[in-house]
Amino acid sequence: MNMLLCMTGRNLKIFLKDKANIFFSLLTTFIVLGLYILFLGKTQTDSINAALAEVGFSGAEKEVRAFCDSWMLSGALASATITVPLCACGVMVQDKKRGIVNDLAASPVPKWLAPASYCLSVAAAGLILCSVVFVLALGWLALSGSWCLTAADVFGAFGSMVLSVLCSTALLVFAVGFIRTDGAFTGLNVILGTVVGFLIGAYMPLSMLPKGIQYFSACIPGSHTAGLMRNFIMGGALDKLESVSSAEFAAGLREQFSFELYFFGNAVTPAAMAVFIAGAALLFIGVLALQGFIVRGGAKKKKRRKL
Protein backbone atom coordinates (compact mmCIF):
# COMPACT_ATOMS: atom_id res chain seq x y z
CA MET A 1 0.00 0.00 0.00
CA ASN A 2 2.84 2.39 0.82
CA MET A 3 4.41 1.72 -2.58
CA LEU A 4 1.07 2.41 -4.29
CA LEU A 5 0.72 5.73 -2.47
CA CYS A 6 4.30 6.70 -3.34
CA MET A 7 3.81 5.99 -7.05
CA THR A 8 0.46 7.78 -7.05
CA GLY A 9 2.06 10.80 -5.39
CA ARG A 10 4.90 10.74 -7.89
CA ASN A 11 2.48 10.76 -10.86
CA LEU A 12 0.39 13.51 -9.30
CA LYS A 13 3.43 15.71 -8.62
CA ILE A 14 4.61 15.36 -12.23
CA PHE A 15 1.23 16.57 -13.48
CA LEU A 16 0.82 19.41 -11.00
CA LYS A 17 4.36 20.73 -11.65
CA ASP A 18 3.56 21.20 -15.34
CA LYS A 19 1.74 24.56 -15.27
CA ALA A 20 1.15 24.53 -19.03
CA ASN A 21 -0.55 21.14 -18.77
CA ILE A 22 -2.80 22.43 -15.99
CA PHE A 23 -3.73 25.43 -18.13
CA PHE A 24 -4.65 23.27 -21.12
CA SER A 25 -6.60 20.88 -18.90
CA LEU A 26 -8.85 23.83 -18.02
CA LEU A 27 -8.80 25.43 -21.47
CA THR A 28 -12.32 24.31 -22.36
CA THR A 29 -13.55 25.76 -19.08
CA PHE A 30 -11.82 29.06 -19.87
CA ILE A 31 -13.37 29.05 -23.36
CA VAL A 32 -16.85 28.56 -21.90
CA LEU A 33 -16.29 31.44 -19.49
CA GLY A 34 -14.80 33.66 -22.19
CA LEU A 35 -17.62 33.05 -24.68
CA TYR A 36 -20.20 33.72 -21.99
CA ILE A 37 -18.58 36.97 -20.86
CA LEU A 38 -17.98 38.24 -24.40
CA PHE A 39 -21.35 37.60 -26.00
CA LEU A 40 -23.23 34.43 -25.00
CA GLY A 41 -24.33 35.86 -21.65
CA LYS A 42 -25.85 39.00 -23.17
CA THR A 43 -27.45 37.02 -26.00
CA GLN A 44 -29.11 34.59 -23.60
CA THR A 45 -30.29 37.19 -21.09
CA ASP A 46 -31.69 39.40 -23.87
CA SER A 47 -33.46 36.42 -25.42
CA ILE A 48 -35.09 35.33 -22.15
CA ASN A 49 -36.04 38.91 -21.22
CA ALA A 50 -37.62 39.38 -24.66
CA ALA A 51 -39.57 36.13 -24.26
CA LEU A 52 -40.77 37.28 -20.85
CA ALA A 53 -41.89 40.60 -22.31
CA GLU A 54 -43.87 38.81 -25.04
CA VAL A 55 -45.94 36.95 -22.42
CA GLY A 56 -46.46 40.07 -20.34
CA PHE A 57 -43.79 39.74 -17.64
CA SER A 58 -41.03 42.24 -16.88
CA GLY A 59 -38.65 43.31 -14.12
CA ALA A 60 -36.99 39.89 -13.81
CA GLU A 61 -33.51 40.91 -14.96
CA LYS A 62 -31.85 39.69 -11.75
CA GLU A 63 -33.54 36.29 -11.93
CA VAL A 64 -32.68 35.94 -15.62
CA ARG A 65 -29.03 36.80 -14.95
CA ALA A 66 -28.87 34.22 -12.14
CA PHE A 67 -30.35 31.59 -14.45
CA CYS A 68 -27.88 32.29 -17.26
CA ASP A 69 -24.88 32.45 -14.90
CA SER A 70 -25.87 29.09 -13.43
CA TRP A 71 -26.18 27.58 -16.92
CA MET A 72 -22.71 28.74 -17.90
CA LEU A 73 -21.07 27.46 -14.71
CA SER A 74 -22.81 24.09 -15.03
CA GLY A 75 -21.28 23.60 -18.47
CA ALA A 76 -17.85 24.79 -17.32
CA LEU A 77 -17.82 22.33 -14.42
CA ALA A 78 -19.01 19.44 -16.58
CA SER A 79 -16.27 20.19 -19.14
CA ALA A 80 -13.58 20.27 -16.45
CA THR A 81 -14.51 16.78 -15.21
CA ILE A 82 -13.49 15.46 -18.63
CA THR A 83 -10.58 17.62 -19.75
CA VAL A 84 -8.65 17.57 -16.46
CA PRO A 85 -8.48 13.74 -16.18
CA LEU A 86 -7.56 13.60 -19.88
CA CYS A 87 -4.53 15.87 -19.43
CA ALA A 88 -3.55 14.04 -16.25
CA CYS A 89 -3.29 10.86 -18.35
CA GLY A 90 -0.30 12.46 -20.08
CA VAL A 91 1.97 11.06 -17.37
CA MET A 92 1.17 7.57 -18.67
CA VAL A 93 2.26 8.51 -22.18
CA GLN A 94 5.45 10.17 -20.91
CA ASP A 95 6.38 7.06 -18.93
CA LYS A 96 5.89 4.88 -22.00
CA LYS A 97 8.04 7.19 -24.10
CA ARG A 98 10.85 7.24 -21.51
CA GLY A 99 10.75 3.49 -20.96
CA ILE A 100 9.70 3.83 -17.31
CA VAL A 101 6.80 1.44 -17.88
CA ASN A 102 9.25 -1.24 -19.07
CA ASP A 103 11.46 -0.64 -16.04
CA LEU A 104 8.47 -1.12 -13.75
CA ALA A 105 7.49 -4.30 -15.60
CA ALA A 106 10.99 -5.71 -15.09
CA SER A 107 11.19 -4.71 -11.42
CA PRO A 108 10.00 -6.95 -8.55
CA VAL A 109 6.76 -5.06 -7.96
CA PRO A 110 3.21 -6.31 -8.52
CA LYS A 111 2.09 -5.87 -12.13
CA TRP A 112 -1.10 -4.14 -11.04
CA LEU A 113 0.78 -1.46 -9.13
CA ALA A 114 1.62 0.87 -12.02
CA PRO A 115 -1.86 0.83 -13.65
CA ALA A 116 -3.51 1.35 -10.26
CA SER A 117 -1.21 4.28 -9.46
CA TYR A 118 -2.06 5.92 -12.80
CA CYS A 119 -5.79 5.56 -12.15
CA LEU A 120 -5.50 6.97 -8.63
CA SER A 121 -3.30 9.90 -9.69
CA VAL A 122 -5.61 10.81 -12.59
CA ALA A 123 -8.63 10.67 -10.28
CA ALA A 124 -6.80 12.72 -7.63
CA ALA A 125 -5.75 15.36 -10.17
CA GLY A 126 -9.30 15.57 -11.48
CA LEU A 127 -10.79 15.92 -8.01
CA ILE A 128 -8.27 18.57 -6.92
CA LEU A 129 -8.59 20.86 -9.94
CA CYS A 130 -12.33 20.34 -10.39
CA SER A 131 -12.86 21.13 -6.70
CA VAL A 132 -10.98 24.40 -7.22
CA VAL A 133 -13.20 25.20 -10.21
CA PHE A 134 -16.26 24.23 -8.15
CA VAL A 135 -15.33 26.60 -5.32
CA LEU A 136 -14.61 29.42 -7.78
CA ALA A 137 -17.97 28.82 -9.47
CA LEU A 138 -19.81 29.05 -6.16
CA GLY A 139 -17.85 32.20 -5.34
CA TRP A 140 -18.87 33.72 -8.69
CA LEU A 141 -22.55 33.03 -7.98
CA ALA A 142 -22.30 34.47 -4.47
CA LEU A 143 -20.42 37.64 -5.44
CA SER A 144 -22.52 38.36 -8.54
CA GLY A 145 -25.79 38.10 -6.62
CA SER A 146 -26.84 35.00 -8.59
CA TRP A 147 -26.83 32.59 -5.63
CA CYS A 148 -30.00 30.48 -5.64
CA LEU A 149 -28.61 27.23 -4.24
CA THR A 150 -29.56 25.31 -1.13
CA ALA A 151 -27.15 23.15 0.88
CA ALA A 152 -28.66 20.08 -0.81
CA ASP A 153 -27.96 21.62 -4.24
CA VAL A 154 -24.31 22.25 -3.32
CA PHE A 155 -23.74 18.72 -2.03
CA GLY A 156 -25.64 17.25 -4.98
CA ALA A 157 -23.55 19.20 -7.49
CA PHE A 158 -20.33 18.23 -5.71
CA GLY A 159 -21.35 14.58 -5.65
CA SER A 160 -22.13 14.74 -9.37
CA MET A 161 -18.69 16.21 -9.97
CA VAL A 162 -16.95 13.43 -8.01
CA LEU A 163 -18.94 10.73 -9.80
CA SER A 164 -18.14 12.24 -13.18
CA VAL A 165 -14.40 12.51 -12.43
CA LEU A 166 -14.30 8.83 -11.47
CA CYS A 167 -16.19 7.88 -14.63
CA SER A 168 -13.93 10.01 -16.84
CA THR A 169 -10.85 8.58 -15.14
CA ALA A 170 -11.82 4.97 -15.85
CA LEU A 171 -12.80 5.73 -19.45
CA LEU A 172 -9.78 7.89 -20.32
CA VAL A 173 -7.16 5.72 -18.62
CA PHE A 174 -8.46 2.82 -20.69
CA ALA A 175 -8.44 4.86 -23.93
CA VAL A 176 -5.03 6.50 -23.36
CA GLY A 177 -3.60 3.09 -22.53
CA PHE A 178 -3.47 2.40 -26.28
CA ILE A 179 -1.53 5.61 -27.03
CA ARG A 180 2.27 5.47 -27.05
CA THR A 181 3.43 8.76 -28.59
CA ASP A 182 3.16 12.39 -27.56
CA GLY A 183 1.82 13.30 -31.00
CA ALA A 184 -1.10 10.90 -30.78
CA PHE A 185 -1.92 12.04 -27.25
CA THR A 186 -1.75 15.71 -28.27
CA GLY A 187 -4.10 14.98 -31.16
CA LEU A 188 -6.58 13.27 -28.86
CA ASN A 189 -6.31 16.14 -26.40
CA VAL A 190 -6.95 18.78 -29.06
CA ILE A 191 -9.86 16.94 -30.68
CA LEU A 192 -11.61 16.01 -27.44
CA GLY A 193 -10.98 19.41 -25.89
CA THR A 194 -12.49 21.09 -28.95
CA VAL A 195 -15.65 19.02 -29.38
CA VAL A 196 -16.50 18.13 -25.79
CA GLY A 197 -17.99 21.56 -25.10
CA PHE A 198 -20.44 21.13 -27.98
CA LEU A 199 -21.29 17.49 -27.33
CA ILE A 200 -22.24 17.99 -23.68
CA GLY A 201 -24.04 21.28 -24.25
CA ALA A 202 -21.54 23.58 -22.53
CA TYR A 203 -21.39 26.13 -25.37
CA MET A 204 -25.07 26.00 -26.27
CA PRO A 205 -28.06 23.96 -25.07
CA LEU A 206 -28.35 20.53 -26.67
CA SER A 207 -31.90 21.38 -27.74
CA MET A 208 -30.39 23.73 -30.36
CA LEU A 209 -28.37 20.94 -31.99
CA PRO A 210 -29.64 18.51 -34.67
CA LYS A 211 -31.53 15.45 -33.42
CA GLY A 212 -28.76 13.07 -34.47
CA ILE A 213 -26.18 14.91 -32.37
CA GLN A 214 -28.62 15.05 -29.46
CA TYR A 215 -29.03 11.27 -29.56
CA PHE A 216 -25.26 10.80 -29.78
CA SER A 217 -24.71 13.22 -26.89
CA ALA A 218 -27.18 11.25 -24.76
CA CYS A 219 -24.76 8.29 -25.01
CA ILE A 220 -21.87 10.32 -23.54
CA PRO A 221 -21.45 10.28 -19.74
CA GLY A 222 -20.35 13.94 -19.83
CA SER A 223 -23.76 15.00 -21.16
CA HIS A 224 -25.41 13.33 -18.18
CA THR A 225 -22.97 15.11 -15.88
CA ALA A 226 -23.94 18.44 -17.43
CA GLY A 227 -27.60 17.51 -17.02
CA LEU A 228 -27.13 16.71 -13.33
CA MET A 229 -25.16 19.91 -12.80
CA ARG A 230 -27.95 21.93 -14.39
CA ASN A 231 -30.60 20.38 -12.19
CA PHE A 232 -28.65 21.11 -9.01
CA ILE A 233 -27.09 24.48 -9.88
CA MET A 234 -29.87 25.95 -12.04
CA GLY A 235 -32.87 24.52 -10.21
CA GLY A 236 -33.14 27.34 -7.65
CA ALA A 237 -32.72 30.02 -10.33
CA LEU A 238 -35.45 28.40 -12.43
CA ASP A 239 -37.79 28.34 -9.41
CA LYS A 240 -37.23 32.08 -8.90
CA LEU A 241 -37.95 32.73 -12.57
CA GLU A 242 -41.13 30.70 -12.27
CA SER A 243 -42.21 32.80 -9.29
CA VAL A 244 -42.03 35.99 -11.38
CA SER A 245 -43.43 34.48 -14.58
CA SER A 246 -45.48 31.30 -14.95
CA ALA A 247 -45.16 27.53 -14.67
CA GLU A 248 -45.55 27.20 -18.45
CA PHE A 249 -42.69 29.63 -19.12
CA ALA A 250 -40.44 27.82 -16.64
CA ALA A 251 -41.31 24.46 -18.23
CA GLY A 252 -40.29 25.85 -21.61
CA LEU A 253 -36.92 26.98 -20.22
CA ARG A 254 -36.43 23.59 -18.57
CA GLU A 255 -36.83 21.86 -21.91
CA GLN A 256 -34.86 24.41 -23.93
CA PHE A 257 -31.86 24.38 -21.57
CA SER A 258 -31.72 20.57 -21.38
CA PHE A 259 -32.56 19.92 -17.75
CA GLU A 260 -33.60 16.53 -19.09
CA LEU A 261 -31.88 14.58 -21.86
CA TYR A 262 -33.88 12.75 -24.48
CA PHE A 263 -32.71 9.33 -25.55
CA PHE A 264 -34.54 8.47 -28.78
CA GLY A 265 -37.57 10.40 -27.65
CA ASN A 266 -37.56 9.15 -24.05
CA ALA A 267 -36.81 11.64 -21.28
CA VAL A 268 -33.84 10.80 -19.05
CA THR A 269 -34.51 11.96 -15.50
CA PRO A 270 -31.76 13.21 -13.13
CA ALA A 271 -31.87 9.90 -11.23
CA ALA A 272 -31.37 8.00 -14.48
CA MET A 273 -28.47 10.32 -15.36
CA ALA A 274 -26.72 9.47 -12.10
CA VAL A 275 -27.29 5.75 -12.69
CA PHE A 276 -25.91 6.08 -16.22
CA ILE A 277 -22.72 7.79 -15.03
CA ALA A 278 -22.21 5.28 -12.20
CA GLY A 279 -22.86 2.37 -14.59
CA ALA A 280 -20.36 3.74 -17.12
CA ALA A 281 -17.76 4.15 -14.35
CA LEU A 282 -18.25 0.57 -13.14
CA LEU A 283 -18.16 -0.73 -16.72
CA PHE A 284 -14.80 0.82 -17.54
CA ILE A 285 -13.34 -0.04 -14.14
CA GLY A 286 -14.26 -3.64 -14.95
CA VAL A 287 -12.73 -3.30 -18.43
CA LEU A 288 -9.50 -1.97 -16.89
CA ALA A 289 -9.40 -4.86 -14.43
CA LEU A 290 -10.01 -7.36 -17.24
CA GLN A 291 -7.33 -5.73 -19.37
CA GLY A 292 -4.84 -6.00 -16.51
CA PHE A 293 -5.75 -9.66 -15.98
CA ILE A 294 -5.21 -10.44 -19.66
CA VAL A 295 -1.87 -8.59 -19.72
CA ARG A 296 -0.63 -10.43 -16.62
CA GLY A 297 -1.74 -13.73 -18.11
CA GLY A 298 0.16 -13.01 -21.32
CA ALA A 299 3.29 -12.06 -19.37
CA LYS A 300 3.19 -15.34 -17.43
CA LYS A 301 2.89 -17.36 -20.65
CA LYS A 302 5.94 -15.60 -22.13
CA LYS A 303 8.00 -16.42 -19.03
CA ARG A 304 6.99 -20.09 -19.24
CA ARG A 305 8.02 -20.25 -22.89
CA LYS A 306 11.43 -18.77 -22.10
CA LEU A 307 11.94 -21.33 -19.36
For residue 306, the model assigns a pLDDT of 53
Q: What is the mean pLDDT of residues 88-101?
A: 90
The predicted-structure confidence for 211-221, as pLDDT tens digits, reads as follows: 888 888 988 99
The predicted-structure confidence for 52-83, as pLDDT tens digits, reads as follows: 888 888 878 888 999 999 999 999 999 999 99
The predicted-structure confidence for 98-144, as pLDDT tens digits, reads as follows: 888 777 777 777 778 888 899 999 999 999 999 999 999 999 999 98
The reported pTM is 0.91
List the beta bridge partners of residue 267. Answer: 262
List the beta bridge partners of residue 266. Answer: 263
- 220 vs 100, 114, 252, CA distance in Å? 33, 28, 24
The predicted-structure confidence for 252-264, as pLDDT tens digits, reads as follows: 889 888 888 887 7
For residue 79, the model assigns a pLDDT of 93
For residue 78, the model assigns a pLDDT of 93
Cα 101 to Cα 229: distance, rounded to the nearest angstrom: 37
Lowest-pLDDT choice from 81-85, 157-161, 244-248, 291-295: 291-295
User: How many CB atoms are located within 10 Å of the residue 64 CB?
Assistant: 23
Specify the 3-state DSSP secondary structure of 254: helix
State how far Cα 135 lies from the chain centre.
Answer: 15
Lowest-pLDDT choice from 73-87, 169-183, 205-219: 205-219
For residue 193, the model assigns a pLDDT of 82
For residue 158, the model assigns a pLDDT of 96
Which of 120, 200, 210 has its CA nearest to residue 160?
Answer: 200
Q: What percent of the chain has pLDDT over 70?
A: 95
Identify the DSSP state of 262.
E
For residue 70, the model assigns a pLDDT of 92
- To the nearest whole number, what is the mean pLDDT of the chain? 87
pLDDT at 16 over 80: yes
pLDDT at 205 over 70: yes
Instruction: Name every residue whose Cβ is closer than 8 Å to that of residue 209 and which is 6 or more positions away in sequence.
Output: 198, 201, 217
